[in-house]
Amino acid sequence: MQTINARSDTQTGEADRRLEFLQLMVRIRAFEERVHRMYLEQQTYGMSPHLSIGEEAMAVGVCSTLRKDDYLLGTHRSHGHILAKGAQMRPMLAEICGKATGYCKGRGGTMHIADFKLGIVGANGIVGGGIPIASGVGLSIKYRSTDQVVVCFFGDAAANIGAFHESVNFACAFKLPVLFVCENNQYGLSTSYGRVSATENVADRALGYKMPGVIVDGMNVLDVYAAATEAVARARAGGGPTLIEGKTYRYFGHSASDQRPYRTRAEEEEWKARSPILLLKKSMLDEGVLTEENFRAMEKAAEEEAEDAAVYAMNSPEPDVSGVLDYIYC
């Protein structure tokens, strides 16, 4: 296991790359804030969306290393992953609202968005449900002899299910091009990672499978990008999988009904002070490669894009009941 620390700008990319990271994180946050408001206003269907506000650096840092033809498997908290892989706000929000113009024609909702054209195999409402699928996708890549990779995101709680060990063992045995990315936001719903795990870090488990286990500051997009870049290059070259663990934090509860009695407000404020957006913004302001005016314009553009997506979703048609059996396999 190794720990990745922040690198200088010359090592992680030019200022324009950091600007792209910042813009994408701001877009993700604006989107999810709009989704949250729509849920509170009862404009979305079903259970409340699971928000990744606070975790934007993980999605952006990892997905920015991928090609369009690479694959992505997400979780129940995957709005950020999907946007970072290239999805658009309009069909995403239409999907969350159950509309026919959504990515899955309104059939997937907030937890099951997929778009094969972008390599998004799908998010997954089952804890750890994407992990064994990722190994299967990795095996497909190897059989087809392409240099694609597959990234699988999962939370800290998913690292304790049996399928995690089976899938990681399989991927390592056959040197499959998989990035197993654990977003350790400290809590599996209301249970802290340390209460139910024998290892201090999820990445410690990589030693048992003879693969690299990397711990990153999941609030620092440059740290995440550096680790993911190395892991992707290794996978493309036939070196097999890597387990990346990002120490991060979700600012909201598990879902809208979660009032977070299991953690203190002081703890929350400490993590909020390390917002991935604020951290990158501050460093760029300090270096003179960003101004407050630039940042405010960036926020305004993201908010307008999210608002446009909301209007599009609300004005989109409902799925036609005559097609209720479409896309069903039996």
Q: What is the 3-state secondary structure (H, E, C) of the chain?
A: CEECCCCCHHHHCCHHHHHHHHHHHHHHHHHHHHHHHHHHCCCCCCCCCCCCCCCHHHHHHHHCCCCCCCEEECCCCCHHHHHHCCCCHHHHHHHHCCCCCCCCCCCCHHHCCCEHHHCEEECCCCCCCHHHHHHHHHHHHHHHCCCCCEEEEEEHHHHHCHHHHHHHHHHHHCCCCEEEEEEECCEECCEEHHHHCCCCCHHHHHHHHCCCEEEEECCCHHHHHHHHHHHHHHHHCCCCCEEEEEECCCCCCCCCCCCCCCCCHHHHHHHHCCCHHHHHHHHHHHCCCCCHHHHHHHHHHHHHHHHHHHHHHHHCCCCCHHHCCCCCCC
Q: For position 330, what pLDDT does the model report? A: 74
- pLDDT-above-70 percentage for the chain: 96
Q: For position 15, what pLDDT does the model report? A: 82
Mean pLDDT to the nearest integer, 80-87 = 98
Q: Identify which of 55, 59, 56, 53 has the alpha carbon closest to the alpha carbon of residue 86.
A: 59
pLDDT digits (tens, 9 = 90+) for 261-281: 999 999 999 999 999 999 999
State the pLDDT confidence band at 129, using cuts at 50, 70 and 90. Answer: very high
- pLDDT-above-90 percentage for the chain: 88
| Residue 7 in this model has a pLDDT that exceeds 80 | no
Q: For position 1, what pLDDT does the model report? A: 52
Domain ranges of the chain: 2-316
Average pLDDT, the chain: 94
Q: For position 74, what pLDDT does the model report? A: 97
Residue with tokens 């390390």: 274
pLDDT digits (tens, 9 = 90+) for 133-161: 999 999 999 999 999 999 999 999 999 99
Structure tokens that stand for 180 in this block: 């197993």
Lowest mean pLDDT among 44-53, 120-129, 244-253: 44-53
Cα→Cα distances 97→111, 199, 318, 321, Å:
12, 40, 9, 16
| Residue 4 in this model has a pLDDT that exceeds 70 | no
Dihedral pair phi/psi, residue 123, rounded to 5°: -80, 175
Cα→Cα distances 113→99, 194, 232, 283, 290, Å:
13, 31, 24, 34, 34
pLDDT digits (tens, 9 = 90+) for 156-177: 999 999 999 999 999 999 999 9
Structure tokens that stand for 125 in this block: 């409402």
Q: For position 12, what pLDDT does the model report? A: 43
pLDDT digits (tens, 9 = 90+) for 27-54: 999 999 999 999 999 988 777 899 999 9
- CATH: 1.10.260.40, 1.10.390.10, 3.40.50.970, 3.40.190.10. Which one for 2-316? 3.40.50.970
Residues in the chain: 330
Q: Identify which of 123, 26, 24 has the alpha carbon closest to the alpha carbon of residue 64.
A: 24
Residue with tokens 């920015």: 64
Q: What is the pTM of this model?
A: 0.93
Structure tokens that stand for 212 in this block: 């690299």
Range among 2-16, 190-204, 207-221 rated most confident: 207-221
Q: For position 35, what pLDDT does the model report? A: 96
| Residue 3 in this model has a pLDDT that exceeds 80 | no
Structure tokens that stand for 291 in this block: 């101004």
Long-range contacts of range 208-213, CB-CB < 8 Å, 24 or more positions apart? 209/168, 209/169, 209/172, 210/172, 211/168, 211/172, 211/240, 211/241, 211/242, 211/243, 212/2, 212/242, 212/243, 213/1, 213/2, 213/242, 213/243, 213/245
State the pLDDT confidence band at 198, using cuts at 50, 70 and 90. Answer: very high
Cα→Cα distances 4→215, 233, 239, 323, 330, Å:
6, 16, 19, 50, 47
CB-based contact 184:155 (threshold 8 Å)? yes
pLDDT digits (tens, 9 = 90+) for 280-327: 999 999 999 999 999 999 999 999 999 999 999 999 999 999 988 888
CB-based contact 257:196 (threshold 8 Å)? no
State the pLDDT confidence band at 328, using cuts at 50, 70 and 90. Answer: confident
Q: For position 2, what pLDDT does the model report? A: 52
